[in-house]
Structure 1
């Protein structure tokens, strides 16, 4: 479904990603870990279409990913992307309105009724059916993130991008959100890419865990080389085996280049 061929991304002289070669099948749940600044979120932006690659190819169903977001790709950030002046229901309906062509994106008549029915259905699916008329300031952090997920799913995307979506939540709420995402992944047949700094979370949710890291370093020019996917680990439901596998991989030293 997704394929990258010798993908590079850099900003001026700062190389962020280099030599990414990968294939992702439909239905994979990819979790991505690595140190801050190693290109995980940049890769999500390339998938979303808000950033363009510097060279190489990034394909979806054998065609270049468009250089703009589309309904087949939904995204949820750590910071809640909701409108404070709108109710829960209006927030989700707005996601439908913004996807329409035209100057205003306003919904009228049958289009408005259909959007309302679709919004109510997805809000019920994420457990917000009793909060349709509440405003974001009346919601807990977990409820706001459920709202953001509902917004992302309303367009029925095939690919869901999650950029540290649960990092600000308490452990108990995170566990609830983990189960919600797993249920939605299975029920909707989604292909998911999720950035996380929590290794346990990566193993618990994903079917494959990617480790982003630099394999080349130059102390004189730290931005001369970018990160790549150093390990692509199939995740077993025996997390101890997966963790042991990662420990064995990361015990190998990185290459240092000195000029």
Structure 2
């Protein structure tokens, strides 16, 4: 494990032909941080998250994860939860959580048997208990509320013990009361599991409530005749309350 930041982006650009989506992104994220990412539509927030997940690679620059270059592939060290419930409708709640463990341990068959399956089931049950879904263990996703499906998606993401949890508008489709419950759950899981979290949200209040740091993405340069020529970057980097209660001043990102 590296002694430096868990995650670094060094002069990262994302370009699709002549269209520049992200430019000159330089960031370092420490282990244990909860980073909220905000910004207007089209500011590259989802592209930024896909880079961290490994779904795509930078056009220029480097991403370093735990001291090593990050490959453009999804790995078990990163988990993700999307706004729309990313669960398997044909599997029960326990089957959804067990699936990731079985695929990791038996990639050819996708199934475990005997003692190995019992161990995996115990681990999946423990995760369901952590997210408050033990009572729904044998139900199917269609029988669950939206909030319960997001709890299941969290259990899926966390059961393989990722070091980095990526959240893409995870509460946007939930009713306000359920969102508050999910805020409490995510905060508890972040602390209990020692996670590093990067969350994209359009809700500024949510960003400041949950995050230890808020990044605002936007374009520094604009050309009204060729808006595609300039990309977005982290224009503001706002550290929030530290453990000692002091609130550092907001600063403009370099």
- Compute the TM-score of the two structures, normalised by the length of structure 2: 0.92
Question: Contact 2:101–2:120 at 8 Å: present in 1 too?
Answer: yes
Q: Contact 2:13/2:23 (CA < 8 Å) preserved in 1?
A: yes
Which residue is 2:12 aligned to?
7
- State the alpha-carbon separation in 2 of the partners of residues 115 and 124 from structure 1: 14
CA RMSD across the alignment: 1.7
1:73-84 equivalences under 5 Å are: 73-84=78-89
Q: Name the counterpart of 2:177.
A: 172
Identify the match of residue 223 of structure 1 among 206, 210, 228: 228
Q: 5+ residue gaps in structure 2?
A: 1-5
Give the gaps of 5 or more residues in structure 1.
250-259
Instruction: Name the residue aligned to 2:43.
Output: 38
> Against the structure 1 CA distance between its residues 149 and 90, is the aligned structure 2 distance closer, same or farther, given a 3 Å change threshold?
same
What is the SS of the residue equivalent to 1:30? Answer: strand
Matched residues in 2 for 1:98 and 1:184: separation? 24
- 1:64-117 deviations in Å (ceiling 9; x for gaps): 112211111000000111111111000110121222353332222222112111
Say which SS state the counterpart of residue 217 (structure 1) adopts: coil
Match of 1:148 in 2: 153
The residue aligned with 1:253 is: none
Match in the other structure for 1:49: 54
1:69 and 2:90 matched = no
Deviations 1:118-150 (A, max 9, x none): 110000000001110011011000000000000
Please say if residues 79 and 165 of structure 2, whose CA atoms lie closer than 8 Å, have aligned partners that are also in contact: yes
Normalised by the length of structure 1, the TM-score is 0.90
Distance 1:127 1:202 in 2: 24
SS at match of 1:172: helix
Other-structure match for 2:96: 91
Q: Kindly indicate whether residue 13 of structure 2 is the aligned counterpart of residue 19 of structure 1.
A: no
Relative to structure 1, the CA distance from residue 117 to residue 197 in structure 2 (aligned partners, 3 Å threshold; closer, same or farther) is same
User: 1-side partners of 2:133 and 2:239: how far apart?
Assistant: 34
Q: How many residue pairs get matched?
A: 243
* Residue 3 (structure 2) aligns with: none
Please say which of residues 91-100 and 193-202 is displaced more in the overlay: 91-100
